[in-house]
Amino acid sequence: MSATTSPAPQLAAPRPRGGIVQSAKDSLVIAKRNLIRMSRIPEMIIFGVIQPVMFVVLFSYVFGGSISVGGSTSPAAYREFLMAGIFAQTVTFATAGAGAGIADDMHKGLIDRFRSLPMARGAVLTGRTLADLVQTTLTVIVLAVVALIVGWRTHENLGKVLAGFGLLLLLGYAFSWIGALIGLSVRTPEAATSGGLIWLFPLTFISNAFVPSDNMPAFLRHIAEWNPFSATVQAARELFGNLPPGYPEPTAWPMQHAVLASVLWSVLIIMAFRTFAVRKYRSATA
């Protein structure tokens, strides 16, 4: 009699653990891993701080006396008007770093290793974006100290000021999900860095960040007023008390209800791009 051999059993891929609590735990583990990695490369944080500090100094002292804000060309008035825009630019430019980090992990095969573990599928991306949020928060704190040194001041209570920074960080977190999608969609970290910045420049400059939108041509003014970046900048100025006297009353809905518009824009961006990024993650690593 000939013995029959049964095929060797195949090992099934580990199933991701479900549940919101477990997903949160997995995300925190990944966030911790990325924070430890960032702490071992301090130049990432240093260079991330130097650029916005340069923007503060250059815009404050080079353009401070040449741009009219609320009918005034006072450098002090422009400095207070400017800072909300610089803060918003800083948190959104972290998008490039988020994309480059994820693209680097993809390039080195780390994402495939994470996929082989029994963990929530979205935890890898959520952990990365949370770590980027912590780094962005540190950058904003340093930038705020520099701004105070050059003369920036707030004129509202502490609660409103903290709310303003909260909206800025929420926008930065929302944009980090755009960076995550870009990082998963390109082949190299260099491409992710370029892809994460090229669209940010028109988004930030066609806005109310550096000049009042009323000075723009009509078609650009409408774009600027409905720009999610502009809504957060306007909301931060209101909460910081940095709208100068004589500043014209806005006519567009996002500018009239800037705080609400800022929250809505950020939440919509997070919901949309987190969904796209997680789907891309599953297909890119399958």
- Whether the CB-CB separation of 78 and 67 falls below 8 Å is answered with yes
Residues with Cβ < 8 Å from 63, sequence gap 6 or more?
Answer: 78, 210
| pLDDT value, residue 223 | 92
| pLDDT value, residue 2 | 46
| pLDDT value, residue 9 | 46
| pLDDT value, residue 284 | 63
The number of beta carbons lying within 10 Å of the beta carbon of residue 147 is 23
pLDDT 10s per residue in the chain (286 long)? 444 444 444 444 455 555 678 788 888 888 888 888 877 777 777 777 787 888 888 777 777 666 767 666 677 788 888 899 999 999 998 888 788 888 887 777 777 777 777 777 778 888 889 989 998 999 999 899 988 888 889 999 999 999 999 999 999 999 999 999 998 888 888 888 888 788 888 899 899 888 888 878 888 999 999 999 999 999 999 999 998 777 778 889 999 999 999 999 999 999 999 999 988 887 765 4
| pLDDT value, residue 218 | 87
> d(Cα 226, Cα 237) in Å, to the nearest integer?
16
DSSP state of 7: P
Which of 222, 221, 207, 226 has the alpha carbon at shortest distance from 264? 226
- Whether the CB-CB separation of 34 and 183 falls below 8 Å is answered with no
Measured CA angle at 140 (ends 136, 143), to 5 deg:
140
Residue type, 190: E
pTM of the model: 0.85
Measured CA angle at 187 (ends 272, 285), to 5 deg:
65
Query: Can you give the residue ranges of every domain in the chain?
Result: 40-284
Residue type, 47: F
Phi, psi of 277 (to 5 degrees): -65, -40
| pLDDT value, residue 64 | 65
